[in-house]
Structure 1
């Protein structure tokens, strides 16, 4: 039995309205779901990305720590979005610049190339393509 691929990612944010606006600009789309989960433990705002992947923003009704994300703590280091080529990676770097989103520019390594950036809660994000 093959191990299944990722179906969704959910991140906890400190300010749902701010993050929803930011991710809507980044994704170029509005959320497909915005509701409290049925048990009332959290609220989720969810985007449908290409390939069937879902990306969710969660709040826990004021129980969040309020701390900025930090990849040096145990937990999430970053989320990587796959792009098909180095040319597409360059286009995304340009798009980030157009959106006013600070980024590290295209960085190349023997295992592939990426553009790293951060969301309003300091969560690490990256566009990545394998070696060409």
Structure 2
């Protein structure tokens, strides 16, 4: 049986790269490894572990000008892997330092999560497996 590959990259559509890129730089702690205008869209790409996280902006803006809503078809949220709950605690403190609102750490039988949102309301989470 062919082994299913891991994710190579994730691309998120944002409304304004001038707002989103600095926000993600502060969150990630480094700048984009790629920033280019491809014609149909402009993207800034961050290296996050072995995966690339791209922020895409389109010349005509976002469809409908809406903010992200996970109740629509498509993406629900993007979760970043943490080793354990103590790492989540460190990220909770870091989000507080950055002034990023979050929902606090939520413990569940399947793991622990720390949810927050980017400037376009895209749902993000730090997640650790159950202890």
**Which TM-score band (shorter chain)?**
over 0.9
The equivalent position to 1:53 in structure 2, one of 44, 51, 58, is: 51
Aligned residue for 1:22? 23
Q: Which secondary structure does the structure 2 equivalent of 1:75 belong to?
A: coil
Which one is further off, 62-71 or 8-17? 62-71
Structure 1 distance, partners of 2:8, 2:114, is 23
The equivalent residue for 2:62 is: 64
For 1:131 and 1:2, locate their aligned partners in 2 and report how far apart those are by CA, in whole Å.
25
The CA deviation at 1:64 is 1.5
Name the counterpart of 2:121.
122
Aligned Cα RMSD in Å?
0.7
CA distance in 1 between partners of 2:110 and 2:71 (Å): 23
1:104 aligned to 2:103?
A: yes
Deviations 1:29-80 (A, max 9, x none): 011111012xx11111000112x21000001112412210001111111000
TM-score by length of 1: 0.95
CA distance in 2, matches of 1:27, 1:13: 17
Structure 1 match to 2:80: 81
Structure 2 counterpart SS, 1:26: helix
Query: Under a length normalisation based on structure 2, what TM-score does the superposition of the two structures give?
Result: 0.96
**Higher deviation after alignment, 62-71 or 20-29:** 62-71
8 Å contact from structure 2 (residues 15, 61) kept in 1: no
